């Protein structure tokens, strides 16, 4: 049983690598962004708040986010481990999250590279606008970088060079997992 978290700037390949890893290891994959994009379709006050927040490229509040993720992880399919994509992504979320994480994989990609990839993304995402992308980059540096340091100090962080081909990165992640 292994509990893995993927961290990286928008466009770093968290979802791409998370899905590949999930298939390879046979461990379920869960993306906070995916959960939120589904919630954004709800015709409720909450749904509208999520839609507006996502489209603006701003993070959903920590107080709302942690209970959503903890609720999902109670489902039986996550009992024997999981791969989380996009959560925790602030220091507060990291400290509030009750689950014990075995490994955090930080996929390192420059702002420029990440930007270029989002322009090429085939899946249509309402938050892939210039303004929202700028905000998401900004929040990665101000809000997510501190949690990377937090996990590094805990000794559970591995850093992966994300500026290579999808296959090379996948191989590299598997090597790092096998070498402890
Ligand atoms: P989320 O869905 O997590 O979006 P994100 O962090 O902006 O990241 P992306 O999904 O855009 O990129 P990715 O790293 O998954 O890259 P991908 O594999 O797609 O979050 C969306 C929003 O939800 C947030 O802005 C926030 O509002 C909210 N949210 C989510 N979690 C939250 C939380 N914990 N707290 C508060 N709010 C939260 O790759 C990108 C593209 O590049 C693809 O087209 C892919 O095919 C391509 N690609 C991937 N790897 C490579 C490669 N090695 N070489 C070439 N192309 C590649
Ligand atoms: Mg993603």
Q: How far is the CA of 11 from the centre of ligand 1 (A)?
A: 5
Closest ligand by atom to 114 CA: 1
What is the distance between the alpha carbons of residues 53 and 121, in angstroms, rounded to a whole number?
A: 21
Residue 161's pLDDT is 98
Q: Each residue's pLDDT tens digit in the chain (180 positions)? A: 899 999 999 999 999 999 999 999 999 999 999 999 999 999 999 999 999 999 999 999 999 999 999 999 999 999 999 999 999 999 999 999 999 999 999 999 999 999 999 888 888 899 999 999 999 999 999 999 999 999 999 999 999 999 999 999 999 999 999 986
Peptide bond into 100 cis (omega under 30): no
By the 8 A CB rule, do 10 and 119 touch? no
Q: Which atom of ligand 1 is nearest the CA belonging to 59?
A: 37
By the 8 A CB rule, do 115 and 11 touch? yes
Residue 119's pLDDT is 82
Q: Which domain holds residue 59?
A: 2-179
Using CB atoms within 10 Å of the CB of residue 11, give its burial: 0 to 12 exposed, 13 to 18 middle, 19+ buried.
Answer: buried
Which of 68, 83, 76 is CA-nearest to residue 6?
A: 83
Residue 180's pLDDT is 63
Give the ranges where the chain is alpha helix by DSSP (H).
Answer: 14-25, 32-39, 45-56, 62-72, 91-96, 111-120, 130-139, 145-154, 166-178
Residue 152's pLDDT is 98
* Residue 82: strand pairing partners: 3
Q: Which atom of ligand 1 is nearest the CA belonging to 128?
A: 11
Residue in the structure block whose two tokens are 């996009």 = 86
Residue 19's pLDDT is 98
How would DSSP label each residue in 24-38? HHT--EEEHHHHHHH
Mutate to test the pocket of ligand 1, among 31, 104, 117, 147 (most ligand atoms within 8 A of CB): 117
Q: Can you give the CATH number for the domain in which 19 is found?
A: 3.40.50.300
Say whether pTM exceeds 0.85. Answer: yes
- Give the number of residues written for the chain: 180
Residues in contact with ligand 1 (CB, 6 Å cut-off): 8, 10-16, 32-33, 36, 53-54, 57-60, 65, 86-87, 89, 93, 117, 120-121, 127, 136, 165-166, 169
Q: Which atom of ligand 1 is nearest the CA belonging to 139?
A: 25
Residue 123's pLDDT is 86
Q: How many domains does the chain have?
A: 1
Give the residue, by CA position, lying nearest to ligand 1 atom 46. Answer: 121
């Amino acid at each position: 049983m292994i509990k893995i978290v993927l961290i990286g700037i928008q466009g770093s390949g968290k979802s791409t690598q998370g899905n590949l890893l999930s298939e390879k290891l046979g461990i379920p994959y869960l993306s906070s962004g995916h959960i939120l994009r589904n919630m954004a379709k709800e015709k409720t006050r909450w749904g509208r708040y999520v839609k507006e927040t996502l489209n603006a490229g701003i993070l959903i509040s920590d107080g709302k986010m942690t209970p959503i993720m903890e609720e999902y992880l109670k489902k039986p399919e996550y009992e024997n481990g999981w791969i989380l994509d996009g959560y925790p992504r602030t220091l507060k979320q990291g400290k509030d999250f009750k689950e014990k994480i075995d490994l955090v994989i930080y996929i390192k990609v420059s702002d420029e590279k990440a930007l270029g990839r989002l322009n090429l993304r085939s899946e249509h995402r309402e938050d892939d606008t210039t303004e929202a992308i700028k905000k998401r980059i900004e929040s990665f540096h101000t809000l997510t970088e501190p949690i990377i340091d937090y996990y590094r100090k805990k000794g559970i962080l591995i850093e992966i060079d994300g500026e290579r081909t999808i296959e090379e990165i996948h191989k590299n992640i598997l090597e790092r997992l096998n070498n402890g």
